[in-house]
Structure 1
Amino acid sequence: MTRASESLPPELHAYLVDHSAPVDPVLADLAEETARLYPDLTTMQIGAEQGTFMTLLARISGARDVVEVGTFTGYSSICMARGIPDDGTLLALDVSEEWTAIARRYWARDGVAHKVDLRIGPALESLRALPEQRRFDLAFIDADKDGYIGYWEELVPRMRPGGVLLVDNTLSHGRVIDPAEDSAQVQGIRDFNDRALADDRVELVLLPIGDGLTLARKRA
């Protein structure tokens, strides 16, 4: 069971999923295991339609060097790793050995483990330790929401011209427009959305996929 696009009624979402590429056994089993082991954390996993979108985007963009901030149990990393060539690299950053142990099993089962470079530790430190000249083709941010701006500021300079950034949960379950909502998590998303929109290094659109997915392209 994966997260659904919240902007759609259940019946319309079911139709959307039925008319998209079907979820294969690897991703279905990963979603089921994640829901069984972490029933209170299922919203941390992307939905099937978002996963398919990310695979296609990686292929269409010709991405070879990808970075993911926030891996959890590996659903999104599998989707992106499938979309890059066999000699491509996906740098996966997470703080949890427990969650990523599940990811490792499914990377191996899916045959993409050789593409994934997993680094455990605070993602901001891992990003700052990267060479300044490294250039990513595709980036995905899906970690602690009050850290989004920091991740963004480290990643944008390291994207190649024309490179694509994806940022998850940018609607925060609709709470971004609720004036009574003042949690650090929601305010972090609001602050990030404002920062990204004002960033003249990119052009972007906020898509109603999942819980809101910002797609940005670094300008030449």
Structure 2
Amino acid sequence: MGAGKVPEAAARGRPPAGPAPAPGTNTLVTAVPGVVCAGRRAVVTASATAVMGRSSPPSAGAPGAPRSLPSPTPGPICGFPAPTDTVTARQLWGQERAITGNRQTGWTFADAFVAEDEPLLWARDQAHAAGLRPVSPATGAVLRMLSATVDAKAVAEIGTGTGVSGIHLLSGMRPDGVLTTVDTEPECQQFAREAFRAAGFAANRARFIPGRALDVLPRLADGGYDLVFCDGDRTEGLEYLAESLRLLRPGGLVCFEGVLADGRTVESGPQPVEVVRLRELVREVRESPALIPSLVPVGDGLLCGVKR
């Protein structure tokens, strides 16, 4: 799906409500056969229909009686609690309805919520042609918002790519802000230069440094940055974090792209070194007294921390 296009299902909005139920009838509406949602607690019935009306629920064990979904299992990351639902389910009465939509359609709509212009689309095409994985449109929109929120004048980026994330960061920064971006591939940085120029950014708005991040970062000024965005080697996340804490001013942000690793970070069982290192990074950011952490579910996971 092209960036900026609203999925057809999302454009149609919510499903029609149908005829009003009789007074006093508890009505549940679902867009997914077999799944009914009451408040925040999902249940599965043997034969759920689009609209079910009944004055009282069937007894436990009877045909059509709801059964609770299994409780979530503890996460595979040592020291992390199992997810819990802190919202108590509410009994629905009369005209109240709980609607379960297609979650995937919702995520697709959210990912395309902020449209990308031609320079961004061009940079994204160049990334795909080079076999790179640029940040998702939703991740880019969050980066743009975060750089604007901290009124960023100086941003460091690990992993230039073809300029997709850089355009988003520059778009949220102050008009006189400078993006320092590091990458081991000078050829990709050339694509980023062209993309920045096409997006209307002056040449002095970006400083391109070719090289390995852990060789370049120690040369950057202590406390001189408002935001550090890390989209480099997944096995070097802890080292990036240590350098970022040195580079950031108090109140500055550090962000790591791709920490969910297509879901492998939260899966049980043996995982490759890259995933193990990502788990260590997630744990360190979560437990660090120097950071206020958050894991934003956009793209492949955006791990953020505000420096205290």
- Normalised by the length of structure 2, the TM-score is 0.64
- Unmatched tracts of structure 1, length 5 or more: 3-7
Residue number among 56, 69, 84 corresponding to 2:158 in the alignment: 69
**Contact 1:163/1:217 (8 A) holds in 2:** yes
**How far 1:29 sits from its partner (Å)?**
1.9
**Contact 1:175/1:181 (8 A) holds in 2:** no
Query: Residue 16 of structure 1 aligns with which residue?
Result: 110
**How far 1:211 sits from its partner (Å)?**
0.7
**Contact 1:71/1:92 (8 A) holds in 2:** yes
- 2 CA distance for matches of 1:11 and 1:28? 22
- 2 CA distance for matches of 1:14 and 1:146? 29
**How far 1:21 sits from its partner (Å)?**
2.6
Query: Residue 216 of structure 2 aligns with which residue?
Result: 126
Give 2:126's aligned amino acid: E
- 1 CA distance for matches of 2:191 and 2:118? 15
Aligned residues: 208
Give 2:206's aligned amino acid: V
**How far 1:17 sits from its partner (Å)?**
4.0
Give 1:92's aligned amino acid: T
The within-5 A match list for 1:104-119 is: 104-112=193-201, 113-119=203-209
Query: Residue 5 of structure 1 aligns with which residue?
Result: none
**Contact 1:162/1:217 (8 A) holds in 2:** yes
- 1 CA distance for matches of 2:272 and 2:251? 34
SS of equivalent residue, structure 1 residue 54:
helix
**CA spacing shift, 1:16–1:136, aligned 2, 3 Å:** same
The within-5 A match list for 1:22-37 is: 22-35=115-128, 37=129
Give 2:204's aligned amino acid: H
**CA spacing shift, 1:128–1:174, aligned 2, 3 Å:** same
Query: Residue 178 of structure 1 aligns with which residue?
Result: 267
**How far 1:9 sits from its partner (Å)?**
5.0
Bigger share in helix: 1
Give 2:121's aligned amino acid: A
Query: Residue 89 of structure 1 aligns with which residue?
Result: 178
Give 2:110's aligned amino acid: L
After superposition, give the CA deviation of every residue in 1:114-142 in whole Å (9 maximum; x if it has no partner).
Answer: 211110011011111223x3421111011
Identity %: 25
Q: Which structure ranks higher in relative contact order (CA pairs < 8 Å, sequence separation ≥ 6)?
A: 1
SS of equivalent residue, structure 1 residue 117:
strand
**Contact 2:127/2:161 (8 A) holds in 1:** no
Does 2:166 align with 1:101? no
**How far 1:23 sits from its partner (Å)?**
1.3
SS of equivalent residue, structure 1 residue 203:
strand
- Normalised by the length of structure 1, the TM-score is 0.88
- Unmatched tracts of structure 2, length 5 or more: 4-101
Does 2:56 align with 1:56? no
CA RMSD of aligned residues (A): 1.8
Does 2:287 align with 1:198? yes
**How far 1:215 sits from its partner (Å)?**
1.5
